[in-house]
Amino acid sequence: MAALAHRPWVAEPSEHRVRAIAAATAQRTPAAQLAELDRLVTENRRIHDVDSVNLNPATNVMNPRAEAMLSAGLGSRPSLGHPGDKYEMGLEAIEQIEVIAAELVAEVFGARYAEIRVPSGAVANLYAFMATCEPGDTIIAPPPSIGGHVTHHTGGSAGQYRLNTVPAPVDPHRYTVDVDALRVLAHEVRPKLITIGSSLNLVPHPVSKIREIADEVGAKVLFDAAHLCGLIAGHAWQQPLEEGAHLMTFSTYKSLGGPAGGAVVTNDAELAERVDRIAFPGLTANFDVAKSAALAVTMIDWQVAGRAYAAAMVETAARLADELAALGLPLYGGTTSHQFALSAQRWGGGQHAARTLREANILTCGIGLPAPSVDGDVNGLRLGTPEIVRIGMKPQDMPDLAGFVARGLVEPLEVTADVSAWRRQFSGVHYTASVSTRRQLAVNTSAAQIDPAEASDPAPR
Ligand SMILES: *Cc1c(COP(=O)(O)O)cnc(C)c1O
């Protein structure tokens, strides 16, 4: 018998799966439990790092050197308070890592203030909502039909903080908000905050125009760069803070290729002070400094190799989209970013198409599009290039990949083995900073491999 109780509010297929796993867990001895965990870690490596091509733009591989920081004895050390005035003793090294990570984030994003004590992108958005709004206030946010994220809506952190979200009007010809209609709406509902930035971004968003509208009604502007932060860090995209966003939030594990986590950056001292108090003593006591160290390593990769990586993500996405369209697949619009979408009506919906591609060892997921809806599913399929570029794929590899996607959507099991065999040509993590013998950082476009000696000794060898 599992200890976990039945949860009637969870959909039956999920709850059935949970109960089967919990019941098997309850049967195992501690030794068998450990063996099972090891087996699952290996299986996950096989799925992601050996068998599958991951076209989900919400994921990435990490530089092994950043990943090593996650198991370097940092994460279990509590660290309360500001550096230089820590409550607990022995934090002289850890408080330096905390400041290095924040400084590097500020440098990479051209921001005056960086908050890194943020567990996730969702919590980064909560920080932004708390810094700009009171419960009961109204915000305007992109709707799900243009990739608007749940964190900005009732079910997510906006709703948890009791904000009232009014969906932004959509420009049906561009995958972003309609600024003229937004102006009318903003004067009508008087929001405290207008958010922009989605889970699918095809064109630059009209940030400076949104800022003008926000100024007219006394609102602040939040740019949610959960997906775009890599392109922003690599200067392959608009710089939202420069264009007038008061705050920018992001996830650190998507296009940024760092550890799971979030961050908030701003140039506004008043907002920075509020965010600082929200982070501590507000919503974190201690925070995960292992993650902060991994983020610092990730930022060094961006400083050294970021422009090349971001440009390659964009170029590779454009080529893959073109190749898919040439094969007759229904490309939605097009893209100028690292991600794009296919209209998924012909496959019965985006999640349905993604489950089919899963059988072909191609990983994707659904997304909303401002197009005819599909019963019981989203109407788009989202694809992106952060991971495939970081494992070494180039634009010239995209005709092959497009062929696998097109066939995989029709006869997935016929291509599974070929997809995996083809994928195995690519390995390691590219676009990392490597320490050369001259003790200077050089772009490492060849793959970084785990090298424990180098990980603990950055001196020239
Ligand atoms: C993924 C995502 C988030 C949430 O980020 P997590 O780090 O997963 O919590 C927030 N906003 C948008 C637009 C996203 O796509």
Contact 119 CB / ligand 1 (< 6 Å): no
- pLDDT digit string, tens, across residues 345-401: 999 999 999 999 999 999 999 999 999 999 999 999 999 999 999 999 999 999 999
Please give the average per-residue pLDDT across 426-447, as a whole number. Answer: 70
pLDDT at 11 over 80: yes
Per the CB < 8 A criterion, the answer to whether 187 and 216 are in contact is yes
Atom of ligand 1 nearest to the CA of 147: 13
Structure tokens at 150: 């749940």
Contact 122 CB / ligand 1 (< 6 Å): yes
- pLDDT digit string, tens, across residues 149-177: 999 999 999 999 999 999 999 987 889 99
Distance CA 298, CA 451 (A): 16
pLDDT at 442 over 70: no
For the residues of 171-234, what is the DSSP string, one character each? ETTTTEE-HHHHHHHHHHH--SEEEE--SS--S---HHHHHHHHHHHT-EEEEE-TTTHHHHHT
pLDDT at 449 over 60: no
Q: Which residues pair with 424 in a beta bridge?
A: none
Residue 434 has a pLDDT of: 74
pLDDT at 309 over 70: yes
Domain range list for the chain: 65-299, 305-423
The candidate with the shortest Cα–Cα distance to 377, out of 397, 406, 356, is 356
Which is higher by pLDDT, 314 or 444? 314
Atom 8 of ligand 1, residue of closest alpha carbon: 121
Say how many Å lie between the CA of residue 113 and the centre of ligand 1.
21
pLDDT at 447 over 90: no
What pTM was computed for the model? 0.94
Contact 351 CB / ligand 1 (< 6 Å): no
Percent of residues, the chain, with pLDDT higher than 70: 94
pLDDT at 458 over 90: no
The candidate with the shortest Cα–Cα distance to 124, out of 260, 291, 262, 275, is 262
Q: What is the mean pLDDT of the chain?
A: 94
Residue 379 has a pLDDT of: 96
Q: Nearest 5 degrees, angle CA 237-CA 241-CA 245?
A: 110
Residue 1 has a pLDDT of: 84
Residue 174 has a pLDDT of: 86
Say how many Å lie between the CA of residue 59 and the centre of ligand 1.
11
Q: Which contacts (CB < 8 Å, 24+ apart) does range 67-72 have?
A: 67/259, 67/294, 67/450, 68/450, 68/452, 68/455, 69/259, 69/290, 69/293, 69/294, 69/296, 69/297, 70/259, 70/290, 70/291, 70/294, 71/290, 72/290, 72/293
Which is higher by pLDDT, 57 or 445? 57
- Helices and strands, counts by H and E, the chain: 17, 16
- pLDDT digit string, tens, across residues 249-307: 999 999 999 999 999 999 999 999 999 999 999 999 889 999 999 999 999 999 999 99
Residue 172 has a pLDDT of: 75
For the residues of 348-387, what is the DSSP string, one character each? TSHHHHHHHHHHTTEE-EEE--SS--BTTB-SEEEEE-HH
Which is higher by pLDDT, 415 or 78? 415
Atom of ligand 1 nearest to the CA of 58: 1
Per the CB < 8 A criterion, the answer to whether 139 and 218 are in contact is no
- pLDDT digit string, tens, across residues 125-154: 999 999 999 999 999 999 999 999 999 999
CATH topology of domain 65-299: Aspartate Aminotransferase; domain 2 (3.40.640)
Residue 451 has a pLDDT of: 44
Say how many Å lie between the CA of residue 253 and the centre of ligand 1.
10
Say how many Å lie between the CA of residue 28 and the centre of ligand 1.
36
The candidate with the shortest Cα–Cα distance to 55, out of 329, 432, 450, is 329
CATH topology of domain 305-423: Aspartate Aminotransferase, domain 1 (3.90.1150)
Contact 151 CB / ligand 1 (< 6 Å): yes
For the residues of 90-152, what is the DSSP string, one character each? S-HHHHHHHHHHHHHHHHHHT-SEEE---S-HHHHHHHHHHHH--TT-EEEE--GGGT--GGG
Contact 222 CB / ligand 1 (< 6 Å): no
Widest pairwise Cα distance in the chain:
65
Contact 397 CB / ligand 1 (< 6 Å): no
Q: Binning pLDDT at 50, 70 and 90, where does residue 334 land? A: very high
Please give the average per-residue pLDDT across 321-335, as a whole number. Answer: 97
Per the CB < 8 A criterion, the answer to whether 58 and 147 are in contact is no
- pLDDT digit string, tens, across residues 398-415: 999 999 999 999 999 999
Residue 173 has a pLDDT of: 83
Amino acid letter, 56: N
Percent of residues, the chain, with pLDDT higher than 90: 92
pLDDT at 222 over 60: yes
Please give the average per-residue pLDDT across 304-324, as a whole number. Answer: 98
Contact 262 CB / ligand 1 (< 6 Å): yes
Residue 457 has a pLDDT of: 38
Contact 291 CB / ligand 1 (< 6 Å): no
pLDDT at 445 over 80: no
Contact 416 CB / ligand 1 (< 6 Å): no
Residue 450 has a pLDDT of: 46
Contact 120 CB / ligand 1 (< 6 Å): yes
